Amino acid sequence: MKQVTIARRVQSVGIGLHKGEPIQITLDPLEANSGIVFYRSDIGMSVKAEPTSVVNTQMATVIGDGKHYISTIEHLLSAIYSYGIDNILITLDAAEVPIMDGSGASFCMMLDDAGRRVLEENKSVFIIKKEVIIHDGEKFVKVSPSNNPTYDFMIDFSHPVIGKQEYSFEFSRQNYIDHISRARTFGFMQDVQYLRSKGLALGGSLENAIVMDDKKILNPEGLRFPLEFVRHKILDAIGDLALLGAPVIGSYASLAGSHNLNHLLTKAILADPNNFERRALANENEFELAGVFA
């Protein structure tokens, strides 16, 4: 099975969640073994999407070079990973990826427009060999060996609209498009008001997030589908694990996971060579990935 990039350049413009300003995003093809590379055209900073580039996980996954950063990369990475794109250049003219509608759907549309180009080099996969788990009290995230990539996530909020939700997802590009990609990020009005007082979330609105008060959803259209909240958590997890740099052959499970726990998980996996194997696939049918990314 061969590495993949996009076939042509595509561009879009969206609002930045935190600064509330328009941001242009451009996706360009890259040659084999380049990986996923972010470039800030406003300051000339280039940074590769990998765990060592992560500098903050408080409200989003943020990468940087020690002096400058690019925030909110997880929704875009989630879509890129799910489309089986190995090599791509992402150019931004600001410090964050535009939030679009708060899900991965807009990025899927960009990738559909860009098309796919198969390269000559074999695709690599990231095979989980041992269970790795990160705890934070009762919260946890873990990966386990499996030839069938799955995501199992549980959340439990005291809010009456959310409550306890659990969703199990068998990974494939089409399943991602149908069941995960349109799940939006969510937040609470009191948190939005606090963040805005600190100069953050200035671009947040009912157009790019599910927003709730103490009792109900404020978005007039309501939810896009049942369990949208926990589905979005899976969308985030896919994006965070994409930083490992190749399709993950293993299962992921979480109770109330977060960007920070996902980042600690990727670091823990890489800390012990016995936890994983990175392998180039000469056989197109191995792990049935050809069908997964079809």
Amino acid at 247: P
Among 138-142, 272-276, 286-290, the minimum mean pLDDT is found in 286-290
- The CA distance from 90 to 133, in Å, is 31
DSSP 8-state class, residue 68:
-
- The CA distance from 271 to 116, in Å, is 33
Q: How confident is the model over 69-118, as pLDDT tens digits?
A: 999 999 999 999 999 999 999 999 999 999 999 999 999 999 999 999 99
The residue with tokens 């016995």 is 274
For residue 138, report the phi and psi dihedrals to the nearest 5 degrees: -80, -20
- The CA distance from 82 to 225, in Å, is 20
Residues with catalytic roles: 259
Q: How confident is the model over 222-270, as pLDDT tens digits?
A: 999 999 999 999 999 999 999 999 999 999 999 999 999 999 999 999 9
Query: Got the DSSP string for 219-231?
Result: -TT--SSTTHHHH
Query: Got the DSSP string for 244-257?
Result: GSS-EESEEEEES-
DSSP-H helix ranges across 24-103: 74-82
44 phi-psi bin (left φ>0, alpha ψ -120 to 50, beta other): left
DSSP 8-state class, residue 275:
G
In the three-class reduction of DSSP (H, G, I as helix; E, B as strand; rest coil), residue 232 is classed as: helix
Res 117: pLDDT: 98
Res 194: pLDDT: 76
Give me the chain's average pLDDT, please. Answer: 95
Domains in the chain (CATH in brackets) are: 2-124 (3.30.230.20), 125-292 (3.30.1700.10)
Instruction: Name the band, by pLDDT with cuts 50, 70 and 90, for residue 197.
Output: confident
Q: How confident is the model over 13-38, as pLDDT tens digits?
A: 999 998 889 999 999 999 999 999 99
Res 284: pLDDT: 61
Instruction: Name the band, by pLDDT with cuts 50, 70 and 90, for residue 285.
Output: low
- The CA distance from 81 to 252, in Å, is 15
Query: What is this structure's pTM?
Result: 0.96
66: exposed, middle or buried (Cβ count in 10 Å: 0-12, 13-18, 19+): exposed
The residue with tokens 């959310």 is 162
Res 70: pLDDT: 98
Amino acid at 4: V
Q: How confident is the model over 138-172, as pLDDT tens digits?
A: 999 999 999 999 999 999 999 999 999 999 999 99
Number of other residues whose CB lies within 10 A of the CB of residue 280: 12
